[in-house]
Structure 1
Amino acid sequence: MKKHFILAALVFITAEANTQSVNDPLAGVRKTIEASNAIFSELANKNDGSILTRYTEDACLLPPNTAPVCGRDNILKFFSSGPKVNSKFTIQHLYGDGKTFVTEESSYELTDMDGHKLDEGKVIVIWKHTDKGWKMYRDMFSSNHPAH
């Protein structure tokens, strides 16, 4: 009897897990985005172009208080000219069908290399599915603090 109960519980758990992944087409995309976000600062701080692996060929950054930054060379200049920081992203919501485009709504926290908090804000990223996987197509961010 005990073996039947354990077997039934395992079957139920497996079926429930499969149902959740089928019902949530963004589950796999979320994992990809979380993994990309986890190494974002490391790549940006290298100043060797590796940050561009996160972006599509036709990507644009949409930073606050300035014009859009489009094109790989300009995006690389943007990151190369900034300070070295650590970032932490927390996904609030994902929108889309998980096939071509997905929109990420997140919050961020920036710290200096010693762990002192520099800023916090929000991010909207439009992710595009490419032949190389999910890449950032549009990246818009702004601080929660007033501009100085």
Structure 2
Amino acid sequence: MKTLLYPMLLVMSISATICAGQSKQQASLDEAKKAIAESNAKYFVLYAKNDGSLVNLYTEDACLFVPGAAPTAFCGRAAIGKFFKEGYEVVGLKSGKFTTTNVYGDGIEYVTEEGLSQMFDANGKLYDEGKYMVLWKKTKEGWKMYKDIFNSNQAPK
């Protein structure tokens, strides 16, 4: 009986450790999901200000992977700010909406968000619809967008 007791206790101990780790990982992922929802709720409020404050939702070394541009064309907060300022002032995009469809990852250092987007002009008319993926990074200031890629559902012209 003793010979069976020790392996059983070992298995129970390992199982408890695994469950505790999974529970902590789920709590971290839930925290990330909440932070992403809060950031997305602020996103177009900050965008509409057109004062550059939107870039604070991104890490210092973040990159936007914009259709038709080199991967490094919009890296860093200054370049990201310039991109959004042009979208607001030149293109005329004034608001939008994000719908998160999935968030996954370990919730410890990085998570990935998938979603759908809509952009509207000054009259509230739908300008474009698309999809996006954001790699979020946990920083000292909380969860920030690190790599942001998006594209239109419209066929290229």
Once the two structures are TM-superposed, the CA of residue 37 in structure 1 deviates from its matched residue by 0.9
Q: Deviations for 1:14-43, whole angstroms, at most 9, x for unmatched residues?
A: xxxxxx998564222112111111221221
Moved more, 110-119 or 70-79: 110-119
**Separation in 2, partners of 1:22, 1:75:** 31
Amino acid at match of 1:73: A
Q: Contact 2:25–2:106 (CA<8 Å) still a contact in 1?
A: no
Distance 1:21 1:108, change over 3 A: farther
Aligned to 1:26: 29
Aligned to 2:77: 72
Question: Which residue number in structure 2 is paired with residue 119 of structure 1?
Answer: 128
2:39 matched residue in structure 1: 36
What CA deviation, in whole Å up to 9, does each residue of 1:55-96 have, x standing for no partner? 001000001111231012111111111133211111111110
Name the % identity: 47
Partner SS state of residue 85, structure 1 = strand
- Unaligned residue ranges in structure 2 (runs of 5+): 1-22
Aligned to 1:57, the other structure's residue is in SS state: strand
Q: CA deviation at 1:99?
A: 0.9
Structure 1, unaligned stretches of length 5 or more? 1-19
Give the distance between the partners of 2:48 and 2:62, measured in 1 at CA.
19
The alignment's TM-score, normalised by the length of structure 2, stands at 0.75
| Shift of residue 125, structure 1, vs aligned partner | 0.2
Which protein has the bigger helix share? 2
Query: TM-score, structure 1 length as denominator?
Result: 0.80
Counterparts of 1:101 and 1:23, CA distance in 2? 13
* Residue in 2 that maps onto 1:58: 61
Partner of 1:48: 51
User: What secondary structure does 1:109 align onto?
Assistant: strand
| Mapped partners of 2:143, 2:50: distance in 1 | 22
Pair 1:134-2:143 in alignment: yes
2:25–2:107: 8 Å Cα contact kept in structure 1? no
Structure 2 counterpart SS, 1:145:
coil
Deviation at 1:101, TM superposition (A): 0.2
* Kept in 2: contact 1:21–1:27 (CA 8 A): no
Residues paired across the two proteins, number = 129
Return the letter of the residue paired with 1:144.
Answer: N
